[in-house]
Each structure stands twice: as C-alpha cells, then as structure tokens.
Structure 1
Amino acid sequence: MTLATVFTELLGVRHPIVLAPMGGSAGGALAAAVSRGGGLGMLGSGDGDAEWLAREAPIVAGQGLPWGVGFLTWRVDVQGVERALEYDPDAVMFSFGDPGPFADVVHDAGKTLIVQVTGMDEARRALDVGADVIVAQGTDAGGHGARHGRGTLPFVPAVVDLVQGAQVPVLAAGGIADGRGVAAALALGADGALIGTRFQATREALVDPDVRNAIVDAKAEDTRRSGMLDRLRRSPWPARYTARTLAHPHLDRHRGREEGDIARDRRAQRDYQRDLDQGAIPAMPVWAGEGVDLIRDVPSAEELVRTLAAETETALVRAARGPRGRMVG
C-alpha cells in the first residue's frame, strides 16, 4: 500500500509524516533523522536566532533531502525568516499569530508556506495569505495551542471542508503518537500528520534524558493545559494560547488561581525562579500531548518514521477489512 498524498507529492517525501518544529527539541540532528526516514524534518527555530541557526541548520541542510524550518509567528521578525531562508529550506512554517507579514517573503523565495492553525478564524486567515499547507492543531497537542479550541478529531475535518475548494493540503496535529493516529488523520481527510511529543522521545531530540524518561513514563491523565506556567516564568506568550504539559509542582501549588492574578503575583514568580535556580523543578516545563501514554521507548527518529509508516499501512488495511475481518466494498 502506498501512503502517497497531495502533501508527499508537494514536498517530495515518502511518508506523510512531519516533525513538529518544537523549540528546544527539534534541532538539526532530529530534523535530519526524520528526513532520512522519509518524512519531513522541521527545525524549531522559534525567533530565527542567528547563532542557533548557524549551528543546527547545516546539519539537516547538507543531506540533500527535503526539510523545513518553523517559527513562532508572534516572536520572529522578517530578518529572522530571511536568515533561515539563506540555508535553503524547502518549507517554512508559522505557528501562533498572523502569518501575513511573512507570506510574500517565503513565496518570493520559492518555498512552501505552511501555516499552523488552532481555530477556524486562523484557518481562514491562512487561506487569505496563500498558505500552501495548513496544519490543523487540536487541543490534544502537547506544548502551546488554543485556549478555547477543539480536539483534533472534530477540528481536522472542519478545516478539510473549509479548504476543499482551494485544494490546500491539511496536516493533522494533536495527540498523534503512532501509526493508528496517522491513519486516523488520513481517514479524516487530512494529507498527513504533524507529530511532536512522540519525536521528543527519540535519541536525536535536543532534550535532557530526564525529559525523555518523563515522557516514556507518563500517562495522558498526567497532562494539563494551562497558561499558569507561562505567567510564573514570565514568558510573553499571547494570552489566547495555553500549553499542555506534564504535571508540575507549581501547577498544583496554584491550582484554582486565575492566570491574571499569577501574572501580578511577584512573590509567586520569585518562588518559581528560586526553585528553578535550586534545581527543584526542570529548566523548562515538559511539553506533552494526550498521546503520551502510547510512547514506550526511545528509538532513533529515522527508525521511528519508518515504524509509523508501517503502522499506518497496517491500520488502514485493518480498517478496510471492517470489524469482521473482511475487505469492505
């Protein structure tokens, strides 16, 4: 069975599997391994920092395989995007904010513009600016996402229906951690899946071993979506986006409090910084989606892409056979 989709043909990859451009995790080695496996490796550049790009981009750019780079739309500027384009990525992705100021820069460079959306208003805006690919991210996802969004299962087909006339491929994101999830994304009408948490638990991810171990040991019920940790660590994330993380002592300590109250509570912020300085809490929250309890090992990312592709094929064949094991139709 072939997993060719409009997306794989557009980017020239073998499998409709994309590495989420996670800041702090998706460096050159991880992106390169995903591309070698037949997916699309994406660097998590964040704000387009020159030093970071100079260290990480050549690792994946030198392979001669399709790859891309992703930015936090609210944080990057045009100069940061232009800096990344000097490394000749095949695709550039923007998440969390208005991609309008960057669309022409990407298209003028002849690159594929990928826009991640967390609601229908953002999806319409992505179409307006000429997105070549849209990522529909549900609230199942780890890391940042919509404060008032929808789960992946209902959100993805809504976006697929919206873009149908424009013939823009859609990638599903949120809670996808094995081939069954990729198969489900395809069944919903998506052209592939963008996967984050599963790739954090790989040998090439730029994360501390304790983070990998925490992800492997975690269960979905260990995750929480909140903006509290952003306020405590004085991160300037826009208020419309919260983050799904594993359990954290300061989330428990301030359970029930309003984020606005925490944003004004200098003592709570000092306590957080003190615990950080003393090593009592991790340097960064552990971002993790609701598919975390499907993650049980730490393979190479190259091997993982191939495993995901094989699992996807198996899941699609099983679905075609129907509940009684016979081919349907």
Structure 2
Amino acid sequence: MGLTTAFTEMFGLRHPVALAPMGGTAGGALAAAVSRGGGLGLLGSGDGDPAWLTREVALLTAATDRPWGVGFLTWAIDRAVLGRALEHGPRAVMLSFGDPTPYADDVRRGGAALMLQVTSVDEARRAVDLGADVIVAQGTEAGGHGASRGRSTLPFVPVVVDLAGSVPVLAAGGIADGRGLAAALALGAAGALIGTRFQATAESLADPAIVRAIVGGRGADTERSTLLDVVRGSRWPSEYTARTLGHPHLDRWQGREGEAATDPRARRDYDDDLARGVIPPQPVWAGEGVDLVRDLPSAEGLVASLAARAAEALGRALGDPSIGGSSASGGAAPRR
C-alpha cells in the first residue's frame, strides 16, 4: 500500500518522498535510485556547472526512466545556467535561497514544474504569487544552509500549507525516517524533502569520511553558524547560516566570526588542514534528525521503507494498522 498525495499525483510517483538536491551528494546515481524507488530524485546542481550537470544527467537517465528534477542555488545562477539545464528535460526545477522571480517564467516555458523552497512566510507568499507548482517549507532543523532567522518545521509547515491552498507543500528539516514523513503528512504537507538521511546511502557522492560522521552523529552535536563559510572562503550570502556537525574550526573561532572574516590565518589554516586531510573535504552538513541515521542502505529501497514506516505510523495513530493515512488538503490517502 502506498500513500497518494497531490505531490505523487503531479509526478506519477509511488511515494511522497523527494531527494533534497544537496551539492556534493545528490548526483546522478543517487537521484536515479530515489526515482526508481518511487520518489522524486533531484540533482544537486548548485551553481549549475555545465560539465557536472551533463555528466550526472547522463548517469541518471541511463539508470531510470522515472521522473527526475534538478535543484539550484538561486543566488548562484543566471538565466543562461537555467536554460542549459532545461535542455536536459527535467520534470522539475527546484530553486532555493534567493529571489526566484527572474527564473519562474523560464522554468515554465522549459516544460518543468516550478518547485520553490521557502524559509519564511513572506517567501511562501512570494512563491504562491509566482505560481509555484510545489512549495518546500524548510524548517531550521534542516542540515546545510537555511535562513538565519527561520522557524522550526513543526509550526512552520502548517502555516505554509494554509497559505498555499491547493499548491502541494513538502516539509523539510529534521525528517529522517518514516515517522517524520508521517508527521509531515499529518501537518497537511503532500510529502517530505529529505536530505541528511540520503547522504548516508550506497549511491551518495558524499566523501566516506562525511558518511561515517553522519552515521555516527548526534543531533545534539549539530549547530547553525556562518563560521565554516567564512574560514573556507565560501561565496554563500551571510544571511544564510548552515547546520553542521562539530568541526575543529568551529571550535577555534567560536564567537569570533568578525575576527575570522578579517584574519588571513583563518583561511590559511583551514586550507592547510584540508590539504593534510585533518578535516573532511566539506563541512558535514547534517540536520537534527541525524540520530536516526545508523546504516548505509540503497536509496532505492530506502524510499519504499520510508513510505511503509510512515503508513504504519499513521495507522497506529488512527488505531487501524491497515490504514495508511487519511485524505486531507494535500495530506495522504491510502492506495492499495
């Protein structure tokens, strides 16, 4: 039995699960595995490097004929980047962090569904006004980058659901197992966008050291900060913090962000540690649900497992284990 929502019906999916388009992790093999498993695989294209995208799309399309999409950092792209991506024929384009207004019409003309990630009510209103096909409501529990003054997933998602009306909403942030997916559906979301859980899968592009850190990580050890962007010379706008597991350079510069930004030793020391292999090649982006990640499954099987455990959780909540969910505005209805 599956869970049918407005999101699954829009793309012809078996399960209301989408892969977060994580840069450095969500390549063609991972996106294809999620799509084969019945979810929506989204490539993490970041700034839209054309060589990377061409290579990973080829890997993806060779491995599945199921729907897939691509995600970009809105602040890091231009219309030419988007145009090249649309030539590959994605079913969806997800834009995150920044004003998507200049790109909305291009996505539609390219024949893709417009997915907009939002971190505030104002951004959600803008997404509705722009005619988003899917809105992703990201809470501060999420791993990686997000709004420095965002809101937690539990109270934020239903506000966005009410605002979005008939537009499907995906919940994001702190969701790492079927119970989290069930909670998202109970809040009125049409599914969940999941990141940290999919970093620790057989098809992930994440460095083995990062995967090991996630499998052994604890949510209590994560924190949001701009420090790691500062010391590694990242172009990320300062209004976005990032949730990561602990890191030596976080400890070194804690409470001294301004000093780190102006002291050349900060970048030099980071680069030296990187070259010597003392620190992983990227910060370990991890959400608060990282405690629930304790194995390294195939992403294809993981999608079905997430949906099955969500159906069980909804059935227990309703007092009927044969029921996978209940019909609501964007919520889940059982499919046998």
By the TM > 0.5 criterion, same fold?
yes
What does residue 239 of structure 2 align with? 240
Q: Select 1:308's aligned residue among 303, 306, 309.
A: 306
What does residue 6 of structure 2 align with? 6
Which stretch of structure 1 is more off in the superposition, 265-274 or 128-137? 265-274
SS at match of 2:25: coil
Equivalent runs, 1:206-225 vs 2, <5 Å: 206-225=205-224
Letter in 1 for 2:176: A
Letter in 2 for 1:144: H
Letter in 1 for 2:27: G
- Residues 2 and 308, structure 2, Cα contact 8 Å, conserved in 1: no
| Aligned Cα root-mean-square deviation (Å) | 1.3
Q: CA deviation at 1:215?
A: 0.5
SS at match of 1:56: helix
- Residues 26 and 43, structure 2, Cα contact 8 Å, conserved in 1: yes
Equivalent runs, 1:1-329 vs 2, <5 Å: 1-62=1-62, 63-164=64-165, 167-257=166-256, 259-321=257-319
- Residues 61 and 89, structure 1, Cα contact 8 Å, conserved in 2: no
Q: CA deviation at 1:38?
A: 0.2
Between 1 and 2, higher relative CO (CA 8 Å, sep ≥ 6) is seen in 2
SS at match of 1:275: helix
Q: CA deviation at 1:2?
A: 3.7
- Residues 231 and 266, structure 2, Cα contact 8 Å, conserved in 1: yes
C-alpha separation between the residues in 1 aligned to 2:215 and 2:104?
Answer: 37
What does residue 325 of structure 1 align with? none
SS at match of 2:316: helix
C-alpha separation between the residues in 1 aligned to 2:77 and 2:183?
Answer: 33
Letter in 2 for 1:225: R
C-alpha separation between the residues in 1 aligned to 2:289 and 2:90?
Answer: 29
Which stretch of structure 1 is more off in the superposition, 52-61 or 17-26? 52-61
C-alpha separation between the residues in 2 aligned to 1:231 and 1:121?
Answer: 27
Letter in 2 for 1:148: R
C-alpha separation between the residues in 1 aligned to 2:163 and 2:28?
Answer: 34
Letter in 2 for 1:249: P
Give CA-to-partner distance per residue, 1:234-264, whole Å, 9 cap, x none: 111111110000100010111122x333212
Q: CA deviation at 1:77?
A: 1.2
SS at match of 1:69: strand
- Residues 2 and 14, structure 2, Cα contact 8 Å, conserved in 1: no
Give CA-to-partner distance per residue, 1:78-125, whole Å, 9 cap, x none: 111111111111000000001111101110112100000111111111
C-alpha separation between the residues in 2 aligned to 1:216 and 1:86?
Answer: 37
C-alpha separation between the residues in 2 aligned to 1:82 and 1:119?
Answer: 28
Q: Give the structure-1-normalised TM-score.
A: 0.95
- Residues 2 and 307, structure 2, Cα contact 8 Å, conserved in 1: no
SS at match of 1:57: helix
SS at match of 1:291: helix
- Residues 170 and 193, structure 2, Cα contact 8 Å, conserved in 1: yes
SS at match of 2:304: helix
Letter in 2 for 1:149: G
Q: CA deviation at 1:139?
A: 0.3
C-alpha separation between the residues in 1 aligned to 2:2 and 2:196?
Answer: 25
C-alpha separation between the residues in 1 aligned to 2:69 and 2:40?
Answer: 7
C-alpha separation between the residues in 1 aligned to 2:246 and 2:107?
Answer: 38
C-alpha separation between the residues in 1 aligned to 2:65 and 2:255?
Answer: 51
Q: CA deviation at 1:304?
A: 0.4
SS at match of 2:15: coil
- Residues 133 and 171, structure 1, Cα contact 8 Å, conserved in 2: yes
C-alpha separation between the residues in 2 aligned to 1:19 and 1:32?
Answer: 10
SS at match of 2:288: coil
C-alpha separation between the residues in 1 aligned to 2:239 and 2:161?
Answer: 23
- Residues 207 and 281, structure 2, Cα contact 8 Å, conserved in 1: no
Aligned pair count reads 320
Unaligned 5+ runs, structure 1:
323-327
SS at match of 1:115: strand
Letter in 1 for 2:302: L
